Amino acid sequence: MAILNHSDAAFPVAATTPLLGRRPLDAGEFRRQGRQVVDFIADYYAGINDYPVPPAVAPGFLAGKLPATAPSTPEPDALTAGLRDVRELMLPGVTHWQIPRHFAHFSATASNVGALGEALAAGLNVNPFTWEASPAATELEVVVTDWLGKALHLPERLLFAGGGGGTLLGTSCEAMLCTIVAARDEMLAEIGEERIGDLVVYCSDQTHFSFQKAARIAGIRRGNCREIPTCRESGFVLTATALQAAVAADEAAGRVPLFLCATVGTTPTAAVDPLRELCAAVEGRGVWVHVDAAYAGAACVCPEFRHAIAGAEAVDSFSTNPHKWLLANMDCCALWVARPAALVAALGTDDDVILKDAAAAARPARGDHHHHAAVDYKDWQVALSRRFRALKLWLVLRCHGVDGLRAVVRSHVRMAAALERMVRADTRFEVPVPRQFALVCFRLRGGGAAAQLVGGDELTASNELNRRLLEAVNATGRAYVSSAVVGGMYVLRCAVGNSLTEERHVREAWSVVQGQAAAVLATAGAAADTARTKDHAAGDDHGADQPHAMTTTTTMGCRSGAWELRTVYRTLRSYAVYFLLGK
């Protein structure tokens, strides 16, 4: 007892130390503070157009404005002060993804119910890693992934209703990693774990870099990731012929083909790999076929785009990101697999007695003839803990309906089609690949004119001209676009997909591009003129030093006349190049 008494005296926590400030969870205070935050967000959206899209800041801009250490005690009304700092210090340094002039990336679409669903899930703050840990959260995820799969017209074998099943993860990279690990363990169980170094995975040179990252994490050797080249003539898609050749070469060398990542809507150009042909190319070889439809999978809510996943009935897994185009705020990646048991075998954990109790709790009650097997989603992912993402997606589907989501996708596609027509109407520009979904790729035309303006070979000069154009457009703060290099061509990307974007924003962005194109061409033309003037002047000086150079008055007069003619010629030529590029 003496020891216990001494301990009580030394650490009188519960007896004498009051909590500082209010309780961390208080219904009344939550109501007051929640209104503050909602008003702050609403005000942000109301004035979002006042911000430049990309911020004009440099690395370290924020660190110098904040204290070096966290406060020991909170200041009075700390939330109000914190929101003020967000507005004054942080928003000027944010890239505003929800601004309607953001066209650089495949959008992270937002909606009222998407944001409020996030808030609701955060407020409930459950951790549904097993069925028992939160039965409603688990079962809602089962229901909502089948809902979404049916809305996208996925093959039934990928849905719970057809023996497969879906889950909600954070990103497509997670989906890739989980499926590669499942495929790896299945294959190694057959050929022996010592052969992991022989496993080979396949993708195209247009596949998102996250695939190679996932493969490395899964233990695939860097040299065993086949990035198969694509070309402009095929629309930058992965062809079955090229895939077959790569697989055959690896088999001949004693390696083991393991996994194919096909893409529906590549990041550079939104190209669609031919699923049916690719599945046929690896049929019978034990290759796991995964479809990364992070962007364009959402378009399949519209019947007119379902051709993009033709042949999906033969794939092993399929993923898409509802946070990209289906109004489900970040983050939300839906993954479906034909054989959930493969995921569970690779990622499952059953050593902890606490987690094992979930299976006992999930046993059907006596007389229950409609029992569904319990799902422990911890066994479908890398982490154990997980978020209640299903609540947000369920609210979006309930409040917008599938028809509402179709209207969103069609609106963005319609605006992108209008932009493509604008680009084609300006003869200075070309559309090197046809528009896919709501992504338009374009560039200033190349050719000899660009080489004369910028220097170098035609392709290099054209790429440099377009790089300068991108830099100039984004520097205005009035539009934000991105770039890609495909088939050696530097192209500008304009992805229409923001929840707030209207056709007027697309027209304004194109006006910015046109204006900056004129400025870039004029600047390049002036620089070329200056360089040519210096070259001519150097040539004249060199001629004057020659032993037999004429220096009579008549000759000098001829030289003066020639100089004037060259000046007139250069002026006319610069205008000719300008109009040749399509002013």
Token pair 């939550």 in the structure block, residue: 30
Q: Is 342 exposed, middle or buried (0-12, 13-18, 19+ CB in 10 A)?
A: buried
Cα separation, 229 vs 203, in Å, equals 9
Cis amide linkage into residue 331, ω under 30° from 0: yes
Backbone φ and ψ of 204, nearest 5°: -105, 170
Cα separation, 456 vs 466, in Å, equals 14
332-343, pLDDT tens digit by residue?
999 999 999 999
Q: pTM, whole model, 2 decimals?
A: 0.85
Torsion, Cα 264 267 271 273, to 10 degrees, reads -40
Record the tokens describing residue 211, joined without a space. Answer: 């695939």
Record the tokens describing residue 424, joined without a space. Answer: 């084609």
What are the sequence ranges of the domains in the chain? 117-347+376-400, 403-526
CATH number for region 403-526: 3.90.1150.10
- Inter-residue long-range contacts of 522-527, CB under 8 Å, 24+ positions, other chains counted: 522/578, 524/453, 524/454, 524/465, 524/468, 525/453, 525/574, 525/577, 525/578, 526/574, 527/453
Fold match between 117-347+376-400 and 403-526? Answer: no
CA angle 98, 99, 101 (to 5 degrees): 130
Which neighbouring-strand residues pair with 491? 484
How does pLDDT run along the chain (583 residues), one tens digit per residue?
A: 344 444 444 444 444 444 455 789 899 999 999 999 999 999 999 999 999 988 989 999 999 899 999 999 988 899 999 999 999 999 999 999 999 999 999 988 999 999 999 999 999 999 999 999 999 999 999 999 999 999 999 999 999 999 999 999 999 999 999 999 999 999 999 999 999 999 999 999 999 999 999 999 999 999 999 999 999 999 999 999 999 999 999 999 999 999 999 999 999 999 999 999 999 999 999 999 999 999 999 999 999 999 999 999 999 999 999 999 999 999 999 999 999 999 999 999 876 656 555 454 554 444 444 446 899 999 999 999 999 999 999 999 999 999 999 999 999 999 999 999 999 999 999 999 999 999 999 999 965 555 566 566 788 889 999 999 999 999 999 999 999 999 999 999 999 999 999 999 999 999 999 999 999 988 876 655 555 555 555 555 554 444 333 333 333 333 334 434 443 334 334 434 333 344 3
Closest CA to 37 of 105, 123, 99: 123
CATH number for region 117-347+376-400: 3.40.640.10
Residue 402's CB is within 10 A of a number of other CB atoms, namely 16
